[in-house]
Amino acid sequence: MSNQVMGATKGSDRIRVGVIGCGGRGTGAAQNCLDSSPGVEITALGDLFQAQVDGAQKKLKLGKVEKFWGFDAFKKVIASDVDLVILTTPPGFRPMHFEAAVAANKHVFLEKPVAVDPVGCRAVIAAAKLAKEKKLAVVAGTQRRHQPSYIETMKRIHGGEIGELVGGQCYWNGDGIWFRAKDDPKTPWLANVSDFEWQCWNWYHWDWLSGDQIVEQHLHNLDVMNWAFGGPPAKFYGLGGRQNRGDIPGNIWDHFAVEMEYPNGARVMSMCRHTPKSSTRVSERVVGTRGTSDCATSIKGEKAYVFAGATPNPYVQEHTDLIASIRNGQPLNEGEQVAISTLTAIGGRISAYTGREIKWQWLVEGSKLDIFPKECKAGPGVFTPVPIPGKTELI
């Protein structure tokens, strides 16, 4: 990190940004960052695949930038003359990339989820604490926490306007996700990559890369529940399975239902699914002794409330807040917070995969589950089987 940016207070001061992971979310986050503040410039792009790097350069309408591809591209982006890195590779890579960025004294935009197992979450928490010591900014891709309607509604929930929280529900129910076949004529270069590289290209479909649907996607809603309750659940009791993915390769499930019990005894039902031609529901709801709230815009009860303020794009606002915190010398640090919400989602997944009720304390202190490969290189794939409750071990 340059001394110039650490001491910067003017909005026109230049901040150089490197993007690690140039897919749809990476280019989206990069554009959000460019739109958020003046003086922001993308100077380096990195991805496993050259096609992704070239595509991001074109989509973002960038001039000459440093470009890197391959499994070591993240190291080269971090080593370039950047002040801030955007980490948007498949989630399994996140702990390794975040640790490297903090070690190199870079500010970080840390896309969610930040790990796929408890070991990875602990590594992110440790790196986030180091970032705080170094006064580095870390903002996570949990954009609801930067959304004025959520912020104002949560202030009222935390202020007791619906009383003590006694329960809730949260959902991410949709109709499915993409699948990228190796012989897709739109990407002829895939025919020459190894199985490991193809899995990285088709990352959503393996738990060691995505964390499964409950971690990769439903984390947003679980993060809101943790926000409302002031911390993570104490216990998880889950179920689910793989019913609608058919012969599509991969080991992830397509539906989960998890009961989460928070330390005050309140129980929250968490539900997510990928079901074709189904009704979509993506929302949160909390129940208090004196009312209810959707957490996003309104309260029903003794102290009814409806948000009527400004509604900036939350995907841009999170970058606005990140850049402002760097320039004013008061760096935000959401690393531990997003790691705890990631671990919450992982706790629900482990309970469902194993058929066992599990406790938060065990997730934090006892679980040794570490599913991401120790070595990442072109070669054989990691084709782990579909988890089966009663047979999948608790690790």
Do 204 and 129 share a domain, yes or no? no
Do 161 and 268 share a domain, yes or no? yes
Do 14 and 108 share a domain, yes or no? yes
Buried b (16+ CB within 10 A) or exposed e, 211-221: bbbbbbbbbbb
Report if residue 379 sits inside a domain: no
Cβ-based neighbours of 390, under 8 Å, separated by 6 or more: 354, 355
Do 110 and 248 share a domain, yes or no? no
Report if residue 237 sits inside a domain: yes
Task: State residue 182's pLDDT score.
Answer: 87
DSSP class of residue 113 equals: P
Task: State residue 10's pLDDT score.
Answer: 36
Reply yes or no on whether the pLDDT at 9 is more than 60.
no
Query: Region 295-302: what's the mean pLDDT?
Result: 98
Going by C-alpha positions, the residue among 323, 328, 331 that lies closest to residue 7 is 328
Cβ-based neighbours of 283, under 8 Å, separated by 6 or more: 170, 171, 221, 294, 296
Report if residue 378 sits inside a domain: no
Do 37 and 124 share a domain, yes or no? yes
Q: What is the pLDDT of residues 169-193, one digit of tens each?
A: 999 999 999 999 888 899 999 989 9
CATH number for 55:
3.40.50.720
Determine how many CB atoms are found less than 10 A away from the CB of residue 287: 18
Report if residue 384 sits inside a domain: no
Do 9 and 69 share a domain, yes or no? yes
Task: State residue 296's pLDDT score.
Answer: 98
Reply yes or no on whether the pLDDT at 11 is more than 60.
no
User: By percentage, how much of the chain surpasses pLDDT 70?
Assistant: 97
At 158, list the tokens: 């935390």
Do 195 and 237 share a domain, yes or no? yes
Query: Region 103-122: what's the mean pLDDT?
Result: 98
Do 102 and 137 share a domain, yes or no? yes
Tell me which H or E stretch contains 144.
Answer: none
Question: pLDDT-derived band of residue 361, with 50, 70 and 90 as boundaries?
Answer: very high
Do 328 and 346 share a domain, yes or no? no
Tell me which H or E stretch contains 138.
Answer: strand 138-140
Bigger pLDDT: 181 vs 124: 124
Task: State residue 115's pLDDT score.
Answer: 98
Question: Which burial class, exposed, middle or buried, applies to 325 when counting CB atoms under 10 A from its CB (0-12, 13-18, 19+)?
Answer: middle
Q: Could you give the angle at which helices 335-354 and 219-229 cross, rounded to 10 degrees?
A: 110
- Return the amino acid letter for 279: S
Q: Which residues sit opposite 84 in a β-bridge? A: 17, 107
Do 125 and 64 share a domain, yes or no? yes
Predicted model pTM: 0.96
Task: State residue 13's pLDDT score.
Answer: 86
Question: pLDDT-derived band of residue 7, with 50, 70 and 90 as boundaries?
Answer: very low
Report if residue 135 sits inside a domain: yes
- H-assigned helices in the chain: 3-6, 24-36, 50-59, 73-79, 94-103, 118-133, 148-158, 195-201, 207-210, 213-216, 219-229, 314-327, 335-354, 360-365
Going by C-alpha positions, the residue among 152, 39, 121 that lies closest to residue 363 is 121
Number of domains in the chain: 2
User: By percentage, how much of the chain surpasses pLDDT 90?
Assistant: 94
At 169, list the tokens: 């529900």
Task: State residue 73's pLDDT score.
Answer: 98
Helix (H, G, I), strand (E, B) or coil at 332: coil
Report if residue 372 sits inside a domain: no
Mean per-residue pLDDT of the chain: 96
Task: State residue 324's pLDDT score.
Answer: 98
Which residue segment(s) compose the domain that 49 sits in? 3-144+317-333
CATH number for 216:
3.30.360.10
Task: State residue 258's pLDDT score.
Answer: 98
Do 298 and 151 share a domain, yes or no? yes
Q: Could you give the angle at which helices 50-59 and 24-36 cross, rounded to 10 degrees?
A: 30
Report if residue 276 sits inside a domain: yes
Reply yes or no on whether the pLDDT at 281 is more than 90.
yes
Do 106 and 183 share a domain, yes or no? no
Report if residue 392 sits inside a domain: no
Reply yes or no on whether the pLDDT at 107 is more than 80.
yes
